[in-house]
Amino acid sequence: MAYSTGSASSFSDLMTAIVNFLVTQGYSDTAGVAGSPTPSASRLLSKGDISVRVGYDAQPCCFLFGGTGVSGTALVNPSATYAKIGSPQAQPITFPITYEFFYSSTPEEFYCVINYNGDKYQHLHFGKSDVPDIGGNGLWLSGSYSGAQTLAGTSGTSDQAKMYMSASRSTQGSGYVYPTPYAGLCGGYFLNDGGWWNGTIRCGLEGADAWRVKANNSAGGLRNQFQADSLMMALPSLYNEAEVLLPLQVNMQRTDSLFTPVAILRGARMFRMDNTSPGDIITYGSDQWKCFPLYARNTENRNGVNWITGAYHSGTVGIALRYDP
């Protein structure tokens, strides 16, 4: 495990910090093609059979693509879907920002969290699945925004500084709470439902190795966290206010309509941060977990605010990252 924190005065600075950090973790670094719109730049980072392209552009954002190798200034088999941390025009990021990096090599995982404008957080992360038999290199990536989002919407239902969430539960025990992004933030961590693809994983199982994306009811499509949705609607436990940390599991739909977990994010958990402040550290035995809002913490609207209103927060949906400074 490794951890680093610092300040960045631009997305260019953030990219440089990510590159420098991952180089110290054994990644090779070469120049990548520029992004768009300019000014922009990117770097290609490789370790073993996974490669990523991290860069910035004038959208402005810091973006992340995945690949299976490097050829010149480009990725081999680049992901069509990509993820990013971005500055929405409705509520631009005021630099400098604070960043925190979390890294593990068992399995290979990297998490970047930024804090800006006081209470706002965004996330960008990738890793290599340790689930056997899934084919491909198992590289997964996700982030607060889908690469396809322009960040230009400023009002009404196109406000891209909002998070639109959906929550429900039944007396039969079913339930869920997650971002339904529409125009807003997806959140990352493969949490979202709906059509915005802010996460992808390269694996086989249904034909040749390919980048799989979120798509309900479609063979090869990824699903949200339905294995633990109900628990998010029960937490924190009333009897002891426990902050139970729930595994994040990426499930893929098969041609026979069955589901296969293709990745488990070993260094991240979802939880409800009703009783936890951003940056708090939860200690369970020898494990430490650092707590962050999915976007911004709000205890009055615990489940966020639904489409079409949305809100500049994520309720008490939180992410805990394994912390081993």
| Shortest Cβ 256–other proteins spacing (Å) | 7
The yes or no reply on residue 174 touching other proteins (CB under 8 A) is yes
The yes or no reply on residue 177 touching other proteins (CB under 8 A) is no
The yes or no reply on residue 226 touching other proteins (CB under 8 A) is yes
* Interacting residues with other proteins between 188 and 207 (CB under 8 A): 205
236 or 278: CB nearest other proteins: 236
* Interacting residues with other proteins between 120 and 159 (CB under 8 A): 131-135
* Helices first, then strands: H and E counts in the chain: 2, 23
* Interacting residues with other proteins between 24 and 83 (CB under 8 A): none
Nearest alpha-carbon partner for 163 in 5, 312, 322, 325: 312
- Binding range to other proteins, per CB under 8 A, among 60-68, 76-84, 105-113, 259-267: 259-267
Among 251, 276, 298, 314, binds other proteins (CB under 8 A): 251
The yes or no reply on residue 211 touching other proteins (CB under 8 A) is no
Among 230, 288, 301, 306, binds other proteins (CB under 8 A): 230
Length of the chain: 325
| Shortest Cβ 238–other proteins spacing (Å) | 5
Tokens 């322009």 locate to 150
Distance CA 22, CA 316 (A): 31
Q: Which residues contact 131 (CB under 8 A, 6 or more apart)?
A: 138, 261, 262, 263, 264
CB burial readout 167-183, b (16+ within 10 A) else e: bebeeeeeebbbbbbbb
CB 10 within 8 A of CB 38: no
Residues of this chain that interact with other proteins (CB under 8 A) are 131-135, 169, 171-176, 205, 223, 226-231, 233-240, 242, 244, 251, 254, 256-262, 302
